[in-house]
């Protein structure tokens, strides 16, 4: 199901087909669709009509996930510190309802990975650290957690003041030979650290790590499509930030324009301009070094976080 189709169903309050899709879809596909719909869903949509009863887990997740998406549209510059007071009130009105609904879903289905992933998202910038810890416990115990859920966990730790080494440990913890899409976590950690340090130079170790993860993903087959889109997109941003634009172009080609459009919110440039600059830089760039090893070192050096 495409986001436009899902949004049409939401506007009509025709929840049956959407619930059927979310129930049958893989975790990341369901997360991706709800997230994209939350970006465009009219705030006055009667979302409560999605919930048949207090034990309607899918309805609660839909309503909670869409509320979370609506809450995110009441932020200026994507930073709570810069948000106007009236927008803060509206944001937390939706965010608190989202957290309550998702918590209700987890009462009925305590190990629901989709509900846990969205609940973790509502606690990325917590006022209540105890509630954040509860959300994290749900995520750690859940089954079929979308990749985005682990990204939300990483972002929550970063927002709570965890240092670069701790964030990179979290990002690398789930990497393995059978999880090439989890490169998304390392790529996001690299990119966020790069921004927080004011365009810091990437160390050779981190560049090698990114190139290795990139090659592994490009060579992988049979990956869940939504997870792959997430990983390809974040590798585009991280590789470009590291000056590895030739490799970034390979991921742009692999995406074929089907990347998550919300990805470009993390770039200061419009998507067309950003993609054009990556391609132009790739044409004039020096050849990029090959990864030092053909396989990924699970215990990557902590010094990589320092230079990211």
pLDDT in tens, 141-182: 999 999 999 999 999 999 998 999 999 999 999 898 899 999
CB-CB contact of 230 with 179 (8 Å): no
Q: How far apart are CA 269 and CA 249, in angstroms?
A: 17
Tens digit of pLDDT at every position of the chain (308 positions): 899 999 999 999 999 999 999 999 999 999 999 999 999 998 889 999 999 999 999 999 999 999 999 988 866 444 444 446 666 788 888 899 999 999 999 999 999 999 999 999 999 986 678 999 999 999 999 999 999 999 999 999 999 989 999 999 999 998 988 999 999 999 999 999 888 776 667 889 999 999 999 999 999 999 999 999 999 999 999 999 999 999 999 999 999 999 999 999 988 889 999 999 999 999 987 776 666 543 334 333 333 333 32
Residue 285 backbone zone (phi > 0: left; psi -120 to 50: alpha; other: beta): beta
Contact 75, 109 (CB under 8 A): no
* Residue whose C-alpha is closest to residue 135's, from 124, 143, 145: 124
Give the residue ranges of DSSP H helices in the chain: 3-11, 15-24, 27-40, 57-72, 85-108, 113-122, 129-141, 147-159, 164-173, 183-196, 204-219, 225-241, 245-255, 271-284, 303-307
Q: Cα-atom radius of gyration of the chain, to the nearest Å?
A: 19
Rounded distance, CA 165 to CA 184, Å?
17
Q: Tell me what pLDDT residue 74 has.
A: 62
What is residue 200's predicted lDDT score, i.e. its pLDDT?
Answer: 67
**153: Cβ contacts below 8 Å, ≥ 6 apart:** 120, 136, 139, 170
pLDDT at residue number 145 = 97
Identify the pLDDT of residue 112: 98
Cβ–Cβ under 8 Å, residues 296 and 205:
no
Report phi then psi at 41, rounded to 5.
-65, 125
Coil, strand, or helix at residue 161?
Answer: coil
Residue 201: predicted pLDDT = 73
Look at residue 85 in the predicted model and tell me its pLDDT: 63
Strands (E), the chain: none
Distances (CA, A) of 110 to 1, 138, 214, 254, 303: 27, 7, 35, 37, 38
**What pLDDT, on a 0 to 100 scale, did the predictor assign at position 299?**
37
pTM passes above 0.85: yes
Cα angle value 195/267/304 (rounded, 5°): 35
| pLDDT given at position 289 | 65
Residue 38, judged by CB atoms within 10 A of its CB (0-12, 13-18, 19+), counts as buried
Tell me, what's the pLDDT at 286? 76
The two three-digit tokens of residue 121, written as one number: 């998202």
């Amino acid at each position: 199901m495409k986001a436009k189709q899902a949004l049409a169903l939401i506007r009509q309050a025709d929840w049956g087909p959407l619930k059927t899709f979310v129930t049958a879809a893989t975790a990341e596909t369901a997360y991706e669709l709800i997230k994209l719909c939350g970006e465009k869903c009219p705030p006055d949509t009667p979302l409560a009509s999605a919930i048949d009863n207090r034990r309607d887990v899918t309805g609660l997740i839909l309503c909670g996930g869409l509320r979370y998406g609506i809450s995110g549209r009441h932020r200026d510059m994507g930073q709570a510190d810069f948000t106007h007071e009236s927008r803060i009130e509206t944001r937390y009105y939706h965010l608190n309802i989202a957290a309550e609904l998702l918590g209700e879903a987890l009462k009925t289905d305590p190990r629901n990975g989709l509900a846990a992933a969205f609940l973790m998202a509502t606690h990325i910038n917590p006022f209540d650290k105890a509630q954040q810890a509860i959300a994290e416990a749900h995520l750690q115990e859940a089954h079929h957690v979308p990749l985005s859920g682990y990204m939300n966990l990483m972002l929550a730790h970063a927002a709570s003041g965890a240092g670069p080494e701790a964030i990179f440990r979290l990002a690398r913890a789930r990497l393995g030979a059978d999880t090439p899409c989890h490169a998304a976590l390392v790529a996001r950690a690299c990119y966020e650290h790069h921004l927080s340090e004011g365009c810091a130079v990437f160390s050779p170790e981190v560049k090698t790590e990114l190139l290795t993860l990139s090659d592994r993903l490009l060579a992988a087959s049979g990956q869940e499509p939504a997870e792959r889109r997430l990983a390809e997109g974040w590798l585009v941003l991280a590789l470009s930030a590291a000056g590895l634009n030739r490799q970034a172009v390979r991921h742009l080609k692999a995406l074929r324009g089907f990347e998550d459009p919300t990805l470009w919110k993390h770039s200061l440039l419009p998507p067309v301009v950003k993609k054009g600059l990556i391609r132009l830089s790739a044409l004039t760039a020096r050849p990029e070094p090959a990864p030092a090893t053909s396989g990924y070192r699970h215990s990557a050096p902590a010094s990589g976080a320092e230079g990211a």
